[in-house]
Structure 1
């Protein structure tokens, strides 16, 4: 088995029954079985491991996924497994597929300390500890007590700390975070942000992801918008080009897109958000795709303005 270094598993979709996606389905009417859901989640973790994945991304806001990983890691004896988790979101839907509110953000020192008490159980596999969806409006990047506590965790446990960023102003957030120092040392060295063929704004600040800093790419599949959809006629040329590449490489477009991301950022970890073994296997076909420079350049031409991308994303629902 070959270990895969540049694709990791994001566990949001195996830790809670719903996630923001392109689908617009009606709410569930059946009974949600928590035990079955938990079993399926562990099966996905094991399948990812067997297929060579060694990086797993989680968060308290992802329902049971952090606890799933804690339990699953107890069964493994492999120091090559690395985990990244976050703090700042609390899952509040109680695994109810019909819940109106799924998560609540709080970037306080008390929330950091509360969630760290659980997250530290991921040690010694825990490599990255991140602020979940750092924003300017919460003031977390100016909260001296929080920043000092993160610095203490970083030093005490020899792990990297970082942020995840979303939204049309993710560049501003990343720039602000990268300039923060504690005790004459740059605090953050892990940056998890959105990048795909549509949202390419982070390419303006590639210097932030160098000098030993770790880039983690999330939402590579644009919450499903990369799949042909009549509601997005503006992407028809993009869909046609992807269909051409699918026929050439004999893989799904998910694999092509993940390959594109790893081609642009070879040192990054690109997250698969698969919640079942079939989708995971399809995603990992990315390791067999070798895009040419011409194909990479053509795919890069499909970028849209960040404001357009994020306004479009706001209209997506939990499914």
Structure 2
């Protein structure tokens, strides 16, 4: 499959004024008002669509991302875009960069019902995929049969149900979640996990999921900007050898995994998007991939460092 067809644009960096991704400042509007961020979102979506991208990923916790996407879809008359969204986190940042708390997580039946209603009220049509946001081993969902049944009922309406993962136990979470059944049917048929050359611990579980027919999506493919802003020497060296930039190399490594059905980009503006999209055409050689594989960090250390990133 053409790599552009495997590409999705995520709006985590554009739907709210603050986020943890590094390297956003130079791309975002100076004032970050709702109107300015909406315009920036439209610009990114226009450029992505013109490049052939037909997948967009949002979430209830991404501030006004669903609202911005809905306005763009309506204004541009786009009916051929596959939309995925997520529930579980609520945005509580009140459009402030200095908010003490930006999002609150809750995997409950009440939160699901509330946010599904909000998503349906916001988007022009139901998303093709609705995901539990940031499933971890301690999630209440695993022991909440009523919630599992409610999610299965969503499947009956034609909406695909999946989950995203985070934290050092992603592989265990993936395998456990994909075993859940309701009335003899597997509940989840899609997974969206953090995977990049620094944090590749979910790779084997994701490959297993792909072989089982589960839609596999890779997120945080640039390690929240670390691989673009402060890349390891190996990444920078490979980039120079190919006459490109470190972010392109890091993303090309994600595209190189044949079990990855979708690779998510998270640009904060059209300049970042244009650079990221170049990765779809870059083919890394075996030596490149072997050298990049050596960069993997201890998952606990990786996630501990991620937890220290500042919302700004």
Same fold (TM over 0.5): yes
CA distance in 2, matches of 1:34, 1:313: 27
Equivalent residue for 1:260, pick from 249, 253, 262: 253
Whether the 8 Å contact between 1:227 and 1:239 is mirrored in structure 2 is no
Deviation of residue 187 (structure 1)? 0.7
1:167-316 correspondence runs (5 A): 167-205=167-205, 206-227=207-228, 229=230, 239-265=232-258, 267-316=260-309
Deviation of residue 260 (structure 1)? 0.7
Deviation of residue 301 (structure 1)? 1.4
**Correspondence for 2:58:** 58
Evaluate the alpha carbon distance shift between residue 167 and residue 3 of structure 1 in structure 2; reply closer, same or farther with a 3 A threshold. Answer: closer
Evaluate the alpha carbon distance shift between residue 77 and residue 38 of structure 1 in structure 2; reply closer, same or farther with a 3 A threshold. Answer: closer
CA distance in 1, matches of 2:189, 2:131: 10
Deviation of residue 31 (structure 1)? 5.6
Evaluate the alpha carbon distance shift between residue 168 and residue 217 of structure 1 in structure 2; reply closer, same or farther with a 3 A threshold. Answer: same
Evaluate the alpha carbon distance shift between residue 31 and residue 172 of structure 1 in structure 2; reply closer, same or farther with a 3 A threshold. Answer: same
Deviation of residue 154 (structure 1)? 1.0
Evaluate the alpha carbon distance shift between residue 57 and residue 289 of structure 1 in structure 2; reply closer, same or farther with a 3 A threshold. Answer: same
CA distance in 1, matches of 2:115, 2:163: 15
CA distance in 1, matches of 2:298, 2:152: 35
* Unaligned runs of at least 5 residues, structure 2: none
How many equivalent residue pairs? Answer: 305
**Correspondence for 1:233:** none
Secondary structure at the residue paired with 2:130?
strand
Deviation of residue 122 (structure 1)? 3.4
What are the Cα deviations for residues 169-217 of structure 1, in whole angstroms up to 9, with x where unaligned?
A: 1122111101000110111011111101111111232212223211111
**Correspondence for 2:46:** 46
Using structure 2 for the length normalisation, give the TM-score: 0.91
CA distance in 2, matches of 1:275, 1:228: 13
* Unaligned runs of at least 5 residues, structure 1: 230-237
Secondary structure at the residue paired with 1:192?
strand
* RMSD of Structure 2 on Structure 1 (CA): 2.1
Deviation of residue 228 (structure 1)? 5.7
Deviation of residue 126 (structure 1)? 1.9
Secondary structure at the residue paired with 1:43?
helix
CA distance in 2, matches of 1:97, 1:59: 19
Deviation of residue 137 (structure 1)? 2.6
Deviation of residue 246 (structure 1)? 1.7
CA distance in 1, matches of 2:229, 2:134: 28
Secondary structure at the residue paired with 1:56?
strand
Whether the 8 Å contact between 2:3 and 2:281 is mirrored in structure 1 is no
